[in-house]
Protein backbone atom coordinates (compact mmCIF):
# COMPACT_ATOMS: atom_id res chain seq x y z
CA UNK A 1 0.00 0.00 0.00
CA UNK A 2 1.33 3.42 -0.92
CA UNK A 3 -0.06 6.73 0.25
CA UNK A 4 0.38 9.59 -2.20
CA UNK A 5 -0.07 13.22 -1.21
CA UNK A 6 -0.19 15.78 -4.02
CA UNK A 7 -0.04 19.50 -3.35
CA UNK A 8 -1.41 21.47 -6.28
CA UNK A 9 -3.20 24.65 -7.28
CA UNK A 10 -5.36 22.61 -9.67
CA UNK A 11 -6.81 19.54 -7.89
CA UNK A 12 -9.40 19.10 -10.66
CA UNK A 13 -6.62 18.10 -13.08
CA UNK A 14 -6.24 14.79 -11.24
CA UNK A 15 -9.88 13.73 -11.50
CA UNK A 16 -9.52 11.90 -14.84
CA UNK A 17 -6.22 10.03 -14.59
CA UNK A 18 -6.78 8.77 -11.06
CA UNK A 19 -10.36 7.65 -11.55
CA UNK A 20 -10.06 5.34 -14.54
CA UNK A 21 -8.67 1.96 -15.54
CA UNK A 22 -6.14 0.06 -13.45
CA UNK A 23 -5.46 3.06 -11.23
CA UNK A 24 -9.08 3.30 -10.12
CA UNK A 25 -9.17 -0.45 -9.44
CA UNK A 26 -6.02 -0.16 -7.32
CA UNK A 27 -7.61 2.67 -5.32
CA UNK A 28 -10.76 0.55 -4.79
CA UNK A 29 -8.66 -2.43 -3.69
CA UNK A 30 -6.71 -0.25 -1.25
CA UNK A 31 -3.34 -0.74 -3.01
CA UNK A 32 -2.94 3.00 -3.40
CA UNK A 33 -4.45 5.95 -1.59
CA UNK A 34 -4.29 9.42 -3.11
CA UNK A 35 -4.82 12.61 -1.13
CA UNK A 36 -4.95 15.73 -3.30
CA UNK A 37 -4.56 19.00 -1.40
CA UNK A 38 -5.21 22.47 -2.73
CA UNK A 39 -2.25 24.73 -1.90
CA UNK A 40 -4.70 27.64 -1.78
CA UNK A 41 -6.29 26.13 1.34
CA UNK A 42 -3.07 26.91 3.20
CA UNK A 43 -3.23 30.69 2.61
CA UNK A 44 -4.56 33.14 5.19
CA UNK A 45 -5.16 36.39 3.31
CA UNK A 46 -8.50 37.51 1.88
CA UNK A 47 -7.48 36.74 -1.73
CA UNK A 48 -5.83 33.38 -0.98
CA UNK A 49 -2.62 34.55 -2.64
CA UNK A 50 -0.24 31.81 -3.67
CA UNK A 51 2.13 33.73 -5.98
CA UNK A 52 3.91 37.04 -6.15
CA UNK A 53 6.28 39.07 -8.33
CA UNK A 54 9.88 37.86 -8.61
CA UNK A 55 12.49 39.81 -6.64
CA UNK A 56 14.89 41.40 -9.09
CA UNK A 57 12.20 41.71 -11.78
CA UNK A 58 11.52 39.52 -14.79
CA UNK A 59 8.61 37.78 -16.44
CA UNK A 60 5.93 35.75 -14.69
CA UNK A 61 4.97 35.06 -11.11
CA UNK A 62 6.67 32.96 -8.47
CA UNK A 63 4.87 30.65 -6.04
CA UNK A 64 5.17 31.88 -2.48
CA UNK A 65 6.89 29.69 0.12
CA UNK A 66 4.43 30.08 3.05
CA UNK A 67 1.46 28.04 1.73
CA UNK A 68 3.77 25.30 0.47
CA UNK A 69 5.61 24.98 3.79
CA UNK A 70 2.28 24.97 5.64
CA UNK A 71 0.75 22.35 3.36
CA UNK A 72 3.73 20.00 3.64
CA UNK A 73 3.98 20.53 7.40
CA UNK A 74 0.26 19.79 7.80
CA UNK A 75 0.65 16.44 6.02
CA UNK A 76 3.84 15.64 7.95
CA UNK A 77 2.18 16.44 11.29
CA UNK A 78 -0.75 14.15 10.51
CA UNK A 79 1.65 11.37 9.59
CA UNK A 80 3.85 12.03 12.58
CA UNK A 81 0.86 11.40 14.87
CA UNK A 82 0.63 7.95 13.30
CA UNK A 83 4.34 7.40 13.94
CA UNK A 84 5.30 7.94 10.30
CA UNK A 85 8.43 10.06 9.83
CA UNK A 86 10.98 10.87 7.12
CA UNK A 87 8.49 10.99 4.28
CA UNK A 88 10.10 12.08 0.98
CA UNK A 89 8.97 15.51 -0.22
CA UNK A 90 9.35 15.56 -3.98
CA UNK A 91 9.36 18.77 -5.93
CA UNK A 92 8.48 18.36 -9.61
CA UNK A 93 10.92 20.55 -11.49
CA UNK A 94 12.61 20.67 -14.90
CA UNK A 95 15.81 21.18 -12.91
CA UNK A 96 15.48 17.92 -10.95
CA UNK A 97 17.13 14.55 -11.48
CA UNK A 98 15.79 12.76 -14.50
CA UNK A 99 12.94 10.33 -13.84
CA UNK A 100 13.64 6.74 -14.93
CA UNK A 101 12.34 3.27 -14.11
CA UNK A 102 15.16 3.00 -11.55
CA UNK A 103 13.91 6.13 -9.78
CA UNK A 104 10.34 4.75 -9.93
CA UNK A 105 11.60 1.54 -8.28
CA UNK A 106 13.40 3.53 -5.60
CA UNK A 107 10.25 5.58 -4.81
CA UNK A 108 8.03 2.49 -4.82
CA UNK A 109 9.85 1.27 -1.67
CA UNK A 110 8.26 4.09 0.36
CA UNK A 111 4.83 3.80 1.95
CA UNK A 112 4.22 7.58 1.85
CA UNK A 113 5.25 10.19 -0.72
CA UNK A 114 4.50 13.91 -0.88
CA UNK A 115 4.59 15.67 -4.26
CA UNK A 116 4.68 19.44 -4.82
CA UNK A 117 3.45 20.73 -8.20
CA UNK A 118 4.79 24.08 -9.32
CA UNK A 119 3.06 26.54 -11.63
CA UNK A 120 3.82 29.87 -13.29
CA UNK A 121 7.48 30.89 -13.51
CA UNK A 122 8.39 28.51 -10.73
CA UNK A 123 8.65 28.27 -6.96
CA UNK A 124 10.49 30.35 -4.37
CA UNK A 125 13.95 28.76 -4.10
CA UNK A 126 13.61 28.25 -0.33
CA UNK A 127 11.13 25.44 -1.04
CA UNK A 128 13.82 23.59 -2.95
CA UNK A 129 16.49 24.39 -0.36
CA UNK A 130 14.66 23.78 2.92
CA UNK A 131 11.45 21.81 2.26
CA UNK A 132 11.92 19.37 -0.61
CA UNK A 133 14.06 16.29 -0.06
CA UNK A 134 14.15 15.40 -3.76
CA UNK A 135 13.60 17.13 -7.11
CA UNK A 136 12.43 15.19 -10.13
CA UNK A 137 12.17 16.14 -13.78
CA UNK A 138 10.23 13.97 -16.23
CA UNK A 139 12.31 15.14 -19.19
CA UNK A 140 14.33 17.92 -20.72
CA UNK A 141 11.41 20.13 -21.65
CA UNK A 142 9.31 22.66 -19.76
CA UNK A 143 5.67 22.05 -18.85
CA UNK A 144 3.33 24.79 -17.66
CA UNK A 145 2.91 23.02 -14.34
CA UNK A 146 4.04 20.07 -12.23
CA UNK A 147 0.62 18.35 -12.29
CA UNK A 148 1.22 16.32 -15.46
CA UNK A 149 4.70 15.45 -14.21
CA UNK A 150 3.25 14.26 -10.87
CA UNK A 151 0.73 12.08 -12.74
CA UNK A 152 3.53 10.50 -14.76
CA UNK A 153 5.70 9.83 -11.72
CA UNK A 154 2.84 8.53 -9.57
CA UNK A 155 1.61 6.28 -12.37
CA UNK A 156 5.03 4.72 -12.96
CA UNK A 157 5.60 4.27 -9.20
CA UNK A 158 2.27 2.75 -8.22
CA UNK A 159 2.29 0.10 -10.95
CA UNK A 160 5.38 -1.31 -9.22
CA UNK A 161 3.52 -1.69 -5.91
CA UNK A 162 2.70 -5.35 -5.22
CA UNK A 163 -0.97 -5.93 -5.95
CA UNK A 164 -1.33 -3.13 -8.49
CA UNK A 165 -0.97 -5.27 -11.60
CA UNK A 166 -3.14 -8.36 -11.94
CA UNK A 167 -0.08 -10.34 -13.03
CA UNK A 168 3.22 -9.16 -11.52
CA UNK A 169 4.96 -11.27 -14.21
CA UNK A 170 4.26 -8.53 -16.73
CA UNK A 171 6.82 -6.36 -14.91
CA UNK A 172 9.62 -8.87 -15.45
CA UNK A 173 10.24 -8.41 -19.16
CA UNK A 174 9.00 -4.87 -19.51
CA UNK A 175 11.00 -2.16 -21.26
CA UNK A 176 13.51 -0.56 -18.87
CA UNK A 177 12.85 -3.06 -16.02
CA UNK A 178 15.45 -5.38 -17.48
CA UNK A 179 17.65 -2.56 -18.76
CA UNK A 180 16.50 -3.45 -22.30
CA UNK A 181 13.47 -2.62 -24.41
CA UNK A 182 10.76 -5.27 -24.46
CA UNK A 183 10.39 -7.70 -27.37
CA UNK A 184 7.55 -7.15 -29.91
CA UNK A 185 4.10 -8.32 -28.81
CA UNK A 186 1.39 -9.84 -31.02
CA UNK A 187 -2.18 -11.00 -30.52
CA UNK A 188 -4.86 -12.55 -32.74
CA UNK A 189 -5.43 -12.74 -35.67
CA UNK A 190 -2.36 -14.75 -36.78
CA UNK A 191 -2.46 -13.01 -40.17
CA UNK A 192 -3.68 -9.44 -40.55
CA UNK A 193 -3.60 -7.84 -44.03
CA UNK A 194 -0.95 -10.32 -45.17
CA UNK A 195 1.23 -9.55 -42.16
CA UNK A 196 1.82 -12.77 -40.27
CA UNK A 197 2.77 -13.17 -36.62
CA UNK A 198 6.32 -14.67 -36.35
CA UNK A 199 5.93 -18.42 -36.60
CA UNK A 200 7.92 -19.19 -33.47
CA UNK A 201 5.22 -17.53 -31.34
CA UNK A 202 2.64 -20.00 -32.65
CA UNK A 203 4.90 -23.00 -32.14
CA UNK A 204 4.09 -23.65 -28.49
CA UNK A 205 7.81 -24.25 -27.89
CA UNK A 206 8.43 -22.16 -24.79
CA UNK A 207 12.22 -22.42 -24.85
CA UNK A 208 12.37 -21.22 -28.45
CA UNK A 209 9.88 -18.45 -27.73
CA UNK A 210 11.96 -17.27 -24.75
CA UNK A 211 15.12 -17.25 -26.88
CA UNK A 212 13.41 -15.40 -29.74
CA UNK A 213 12.06 -12.80 -27.32
CA UNK A 214 15.44 -12.24 -25.70
CA UNK A 215 17.11 -11.81 -29.11
CA UNK A 216 14.38 -9.43 -30.27
CA UNK A 217 14.80 -7.46 -27.08
CA UNK A 218 18.55 -7.17 -27.67
CA UNK A 219 18.09 -6.35 -31.36
CA UNK A 220 15.46 -3.71 -30.70
CA UNK A 221 17.51 -2.09 -27.93
CA UNK A 222 20.61 -2.06 -30.17
CA UNK A 223 18.63 -0.42 -32.96
CA UNK A 224 16.60 2.08 -30.98
CA UNK A 225 18.47 2.76 -27.74
CA UNK A 226 22.06 1.59 -28.02
CA UNK A 227 22.86 3.83 -25.02
CA UNK A 228 20.94 1.38 -22.79
CA UNK A 229 23.06 -1.58 -23.84
CA UNK A 230 26.16 -0.14 -22.22
CA UNK A 231 24.46 -0.38 -18.80
CA UNK A 232 22.53 -3.64 -19.32
CA UNK A 233 23.49 -6.91 -17.58
CA UNK A 234 24.29 -9.23 -20.48
CA UNK A 235 25.62 -12.78 -20.67
CA UNK A 236 28.88 -13.21 -22.64
CA UNK A 237 27.00 -14.86 -25.54
CA UNK A 238 24.58 -11.94 -25.59
CA UNK A 239 27.49 -9.50 -25.77
CA UNK A 240 28.83 -11.48 -28.72
CA UNK A 241 25.36 -11.38 -30.34
CA UNK A 242 25.39 -7.58 -30.02
CA UNK A 243 28.92 -7.36 -31.42
CA UNK A 244 27.80 -9.38 -34.43
CA UNK A 245 24.81 -7.04 -34.85
CA UNK A 246 27.02 -3.97 -34.69
CA UNK A 247 29.27 -5.26 -37.42
CA UNK A 248 26.30 -6.32 -39.55
CA UNK A 249 25.50 -3.70 -42.20
CA UNK A 250 22.18 -5.41 -43.07
CA UNK A 251 20.67 -4.94 -39.64
CA UNK A 252 21.40 -1.24 -39.79
CA UNK A 253 22.22 -0.86 -36.10
CA UNK A 254 24.62 1.97 -36.82
CA UNK A 255 22.05 3.90 -38.85
CA UNK A 256 19.70 4.59 -35.92
N1 LIG B 1 11.11 28.74 -14.72
C2 LIG B 1 11.30 27.35 -14.45
C3 LIG B 1 12.65 26.89 -14.98
O4 LIG B 1 13.10 27.45 -15.97
O5 LIG B 1 13.25 25.96 -14.41
C6 LIG B 1 10.19 26.50 -15.10
C7 LIG B 1 8.88 26.64 -14.43
S8 LIG B 1 7.63 25.67 -15.18
C9 LIG B 1 6.94 26.80 -16.35
C10 LIG B 1 6.38 25.60 -13.95
C11 LIG B 1 6.34 24.30 -13.15
O12 LIG B 1 6.10 23.19 -14.01
C13 LIG B 1 7.60 23.93 -12.40
O14 LIG B 1 7.68 24.60 -11.16
C15 LIG B 1 7.47 22.44 -12.23
O16 LIG B 1 6.70 22.10 -11.10
C17 LIG B 1 6.70 22.03 -13.48
N18 LIG B 1 7.55 21.45 -14.54
C19 LIG B 1 7.85 22.02 -15.74
N20 LIG B 1 8.61 21.22 -16.49
C21 LIG B 1 8.80 20.10 -15.77
C22 LIG B 1 9.54 18.89 -16.00
N23 LIG B 1 10.21 18.69 -17.12
N24 LIG B 1 9.53 17.96 -15.04
C25 LIG B 1 8.85 18.14 -13.87
N26 LIG B 1 8.16 19.26 -13.60
C27 LIG B 1 8.12 20.24 -14.52
Q: List where CATH 1.10.1270.20 sits in the chain.
A: 172-247
108-124 pLDDT, tens digit each: 999 999 999 999 999 99
**Distance, CA 123 to ligand 1 centroid (Å)?**
9
User: ω into residue 50 within 30 of 0, thus cis?
Assistant: no
User: Domain 172-247 belongs to what topology?
Assistant: 1.10.1270
Q: List where CATH 3.40.1280.10 sits in the chain.
A: 2-158
User: Domain 2-158 belongs to what topology?
Assistant: Alpha/beta knot (3.40.1280)
Ligand 1 atom with minimal separation from the 141 CA:
23
Ligand 1 pocket member 143 (CB < 6 A): yes
Contacts of 38 (CB under 8 A, 6+ apart): 8, 9, 11
Ligand 1 pocket member 7 (CB < 6 A): no
**Distance, CA 149 to ligand 1 centroid (Å)?**
9
Residue to substitute in 8, 92, 141, 152 for testing ligand 1 pocket (most ligand atoms within 8 angstroms of CB): 92
**Whether pLDDT at 80 is above 70:** yes
Half-sphere exposure of 165 (CA within 13 A, CB side): 14
Ligand 1 pocket member 139 (CB < 6 A): yes
* Predicted pLDDT at 217: 95
CB atoms within 10 A of CB 202: 12
> 250 falls in which pLDDT band (50, 70, 90)?
low
Determine the average pLDDT of the residues in 60-67: 98
132-183 pLDDT, tens digit each: 999 999 999 999 999 999 999 999 999 999 988 877 777 777 788 788 999 9
Ligand 1 atom with minimal separation from the 117 CA:
16
Per the confidence metrics, is the pTM higher than 0.85?
Answer: yes
Question: What's the chain's average pLDDT?
Answer: 93
Amino acid sequence: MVNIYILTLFPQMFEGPFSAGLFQKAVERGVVKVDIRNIRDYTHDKHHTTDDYPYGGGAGMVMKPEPLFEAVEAVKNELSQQGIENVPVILLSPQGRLFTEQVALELSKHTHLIFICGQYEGIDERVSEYLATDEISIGDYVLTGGELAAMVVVNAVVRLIPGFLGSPDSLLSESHTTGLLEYPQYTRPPVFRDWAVPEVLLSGNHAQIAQWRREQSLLRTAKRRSDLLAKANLYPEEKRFIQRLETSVDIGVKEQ
